[in-house]
Amino acid sequence: MAEFSWASRSPLEHALVVGAYGARDVEPGISLTEIRNFELIQVMARRGKGAELARTAKARFGMAAPNVPKAVSASDVTLIWSGPDQFLVLSKGGKHAIDILSEAFSQSASLSDQSHARVLISVSGAKARAMLAKLSSIDLHPAAFPTGTAAATSIDHTSVNLWRGYDRPDGQAVFNLLVFATFAESLWHTMLDAAAEHGAEIGYSEELG
């Protein structure tokens, strides 16, 4: 049998141009950062197994999986609510990869590896909320959408999982956005259009925030 070597490439490889974008005569109001090379597992409880999944998840991750639209984080993993009886496991480094979680949840849930099926975009900066307000009908004001809030919603007719992560060291809010890989380029251009007037700093990172 032929030996294959799969090179991992970002769906935004062509669309993402590192550097400044949009208005140049202002301090960039938005940071748009693609986070690359993560592991993402969709976990969905089987019929009648909601309580068992909750117990297993708590034992596995050391914290309860969210059963309302929230995202919770430990040092090595983030659990993001994605609908009734289901959540996403976002991590890095293989500790929570599909083969390991499949075993842990074999009795209570169905799992699907989304690691290469989604693009993760982090939006932050003084104008991040103003920019997202053009694209989303969700109220992202800190009073309505504090750190750890999550939403399964649509932006530009594209399904996204949106959640507010920990603030940046300078205190700015960070909004994380998971989008289907094949829709990512389209959404990326929409986001660039929305960000242009505020000036954006474009980049990518291998670090989960």
Give the interface with another protein as residue ranges (CB under 8 A). Answer: 44-53, 69, 82-85, 137, 151-154, 157, 159
CB of 68 to another protein, least distance (A): 8
User: Closer to another protein at the Cβ: 110 or 147?
Assistant: 110
At 177, the amino acid letter reads L
Q: Find the Cα–Cα–Cα–Cα dihedral 57, 76, 113, 100, rounded to 10°.
A: -60
Residue number with CB closer to another protein (37 or 190) = 190
Per DSSP, the three-state class of 205 is: strand
Closer residue to another protein in complex, CB, 8/137: 137
CB of 192 to another protein, least distance (A): 22
Minimum distance from CB of 69 to another protein (Å)? 6
Q: How far is the CB of 197 from another protein (least distance, A)?
A: 24
CA distance 70 to 74: 14
**Dihedral angle computed from the Cα positions of residues 124, 70, 78 and 208, in that order, rounded to the nearest 10 degrees:** 0
Query: CA 80 to CA 162: how far, in whole Å?
Result: 9
Q: Which is nearer to another protein, 138 or 196 (CB)?
A: 138
Cβ proximity to another protein: between 53 and 174 the closer is 53
Contact 111, 42 (CB under 8 A): yes
Task: Give, for 194, the enclosing helix (H) or strand (E).
Answer: helix 181-195
Which tokens is 161 given?
């999982």
Nearest by Cα to 89 from 76, 206, 33? 76
Q: Which is nearer to another protein, 83 or 146 (CB)?
A: 83
Smallest distance from another protein to CB 44, Å: 8
Residue 24 Cβ, how far from another protein at the closest point, in Å? 34
Q: Which residues 6+ apart lie within 8 Å of 185 measured at CB?
A: 11, 12, 14, 15
